[in-house]
Amino acid sequence: MSQASNSAPYDMQIKLLMIGDSGVGKTCLLLRYANDSFSPTFITTIGIDFKIKNVDVEGTRIKLQIWDTAGQERFRTITTSYFRGAQGILLVYDVTDRRSFESIRNWISQIQQHADVHVNKILVGNKCDMLDEKVVSTEEGQKLASEFGIPFFECSAKNDIHVESSFMHIAKAVKDRLKADGQGGPSAKTGLNLKPNQSGGKDKKCC
């Protein structure tokens, strides 16, 4: 083990970014994964916030820095400035909101303009527990993910369905890519030096 690994509590630091329209449940997914908690009401994310979670992926100790972005149009400029330096991106839509699904193409266009060309991506359809209100089928999600050559997960932050597996999948994909490229030691820079804003705003329903 390298000297850097001996002096750090982790072997690799990975920056993940969560993007998608407002209200799709990005914050709820992050809180479920990072804190194993869920609240049906949350404070709308203002700008950027993040959580840290240390995980073990196939014997590699990874410090995940997961950035939760605001989906509102007025924060779009702030959000795109965080694309650079992201090593993995979770594209999130709400299976009960077709417009949020249709917005994924725009978010992918933003990634292509602002993110690293090699960034790992996954597509996440949240609120899969709401079967009676579901308007975007699993097959449609799979088709869109296949079109862009990225993995697809249907999740529920509320019922803790496939949340951990989706985060672990992208963490492993980033780890494998960085190790293949000889990158990603514990002192690797995340590309972000800005301080996240504290959450604030109006209460909003979320799953």
> pLDDT digits over 107-160, tens only?
999 899 989 999 999 999 999 999 999 999 999 999 999 999 999 999 999 999
Taking only Cα atoms into account, the Rg of the chain, rounded to an integer number of angstroms, comes to 16
Tens of pLDDT, residues 28-56: 999 999 988 877 655 554 456 789 999 99
**What would the pLDDT profile of 60-91 be if each residue is shown by its tens digit?**
999 999 998 765 555 556 566 778 889 999 99
Q: Write the CATH number for 145.
A: 3.40.50.300
Domain boundaries, position 56: 3-194+201-205
Cα–Cα dist 167/30, whole Å:
9
Q: Using one digit for the tens of pLDDT, what is the confidence trace for 154-197?
A: 999 999 999 999 999 999 999 999 998 876 555 444 444 344 44
Tally of domains in the chain: 1
The tokens for 119 are 């960034």
Residue 24's Cβ-side half-sphere holds a number of Cα atoms within 13 Å equal to 32
Contact 2, 185 (CB under 8 A): yes
Query: Are 57 and 168 spatial neighbours (Cβ–Cβ below 8 Å)?
Result: yes
Burial class (CB in 10 A: 0-12, 13-18, 19+), 59: exposed
Return the pLDDT at 36.
86
